[in-house]
């Protein structure tokens, strides 16, 4: 067993005198007791030279408590939250990205080669605006003039209409030669847009009026009239067949010719077919 040596205490005369002076100062003073002398009063003002002594066990306890306080302050606040171990408290993808290292991004070739475009605009000058206004005014004037012409046109004709012929066709026996002969009787009739009587024809109005006399009802449209028949080759074409063009039609007159109502200011006439953009249609087959 280890032997502990008893620590010897040394006496300090000055410390003993000071202690006695303090005790004397704290003792109750009676009126009859003698007052302390000056030396005793001075001794009471001397600071105590006794120091606080701690043993080894006290030092260990102080160090343990200090370490516990420091460790508690170092723990994050969320460590104390109940249930913080659940998945909802886990690290998010955004948080992981903030902690990620350098990353690389691949861009496909089609993105790299994507064309770059920019907006563009056209400025309109004052002269162009004025020209557009003049064109609009001219178109309106032409419309009014055509309306007035149709009014006078209707008033100038009192003969049978397309409807009259369809109700009682004068030529019930249909054949191409007869159709062409009737059509030639209207050569010289002026062109009138929308016209469908001998007072004035447009292209499809002319064809419609002639075929109505044979009991054939047609729309007032070149495209619609072309859809009514069967396409045939030009080698098989005969006078009385129809020549269909984009937006225009007439009667085939033989030898590459057409009988038609051509345009405003002209009259029904026969002339060579001037374009290759056409086909031949026969009605009744």
Catalytic site positions: 203, 248, 260
Residue with tokens 């790299």: 112
Distance CA 254, CA 3 (A): 150
- Pairing mode, strands 196-197 and 200-201: antiparallel
Helix (H) or strand (E) segment spanning residue 200: strand 200-201
Token readout for 188 is 């010289």
DSSP state of 239: B
Residue with tokens 């306080």: 69
**Angle CA(12)–CA(14)–CA(20) in degrees, nearest 5?**
105
CA–centroid distance for 282 within its chain = 51
């Amino acid at each position: 067993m280890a032997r502990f040596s008893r620590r010897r205490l040394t006496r300090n005369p000055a410390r003993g005198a000071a202690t006695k002076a303090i005790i004397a100062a704290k003792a109750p003073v009676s009126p009859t007791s003698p007052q302390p002398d000056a030396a005793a009063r001075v001794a009471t003002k001397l600071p105590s030279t006794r120091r606080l002594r701690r043993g080894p066990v006290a030092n260990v306890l102080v160090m343990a408590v200090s370490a516990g306080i420091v460790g508690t302050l170092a723990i994050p606040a969320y460590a104390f939250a109940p249930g913080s171990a659940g998945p909802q408290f886990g690290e998010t993808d955004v948080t992981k990205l903030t902690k990620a290292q350098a990353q690389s991004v691949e861009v496909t070739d089609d993105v790299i080669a994507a064309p770059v475009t920019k907006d563009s605009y056209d400025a309109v000058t004052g002269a162009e605006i004025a020209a557009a206004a003049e064109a609009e005014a001219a178109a309106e004037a032409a419309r009014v003039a055509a309306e007035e012409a149709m009014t006078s046109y209707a008033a100038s004709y009192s003969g049978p209409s397309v409807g009259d012929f369809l109700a009682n066709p004068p030529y019930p026996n249909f054949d191409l030669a007869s159709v062409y002969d009737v059509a030639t009787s209207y050569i010289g009739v002026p062109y009138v847009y929308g016209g469908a009587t001998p007072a004035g024809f447009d292209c499809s109005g002319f064809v419609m009026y002639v075929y109505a006399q044979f009991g054939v009802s047609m729309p007032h449209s070149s495209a619609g009239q072309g859809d009514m028949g069967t396409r045939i080759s030009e080698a098989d074409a005969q006078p009385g067949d129809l020549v269909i063009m984009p937006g225009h039609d007439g009667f085939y007159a033989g030898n590459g010719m057409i009988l038609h109502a051509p345009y405003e200011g002209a009259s029904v006439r026969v002339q060579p077919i001037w374009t290759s953009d056409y086909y031949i249609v026969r009605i009744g087959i």
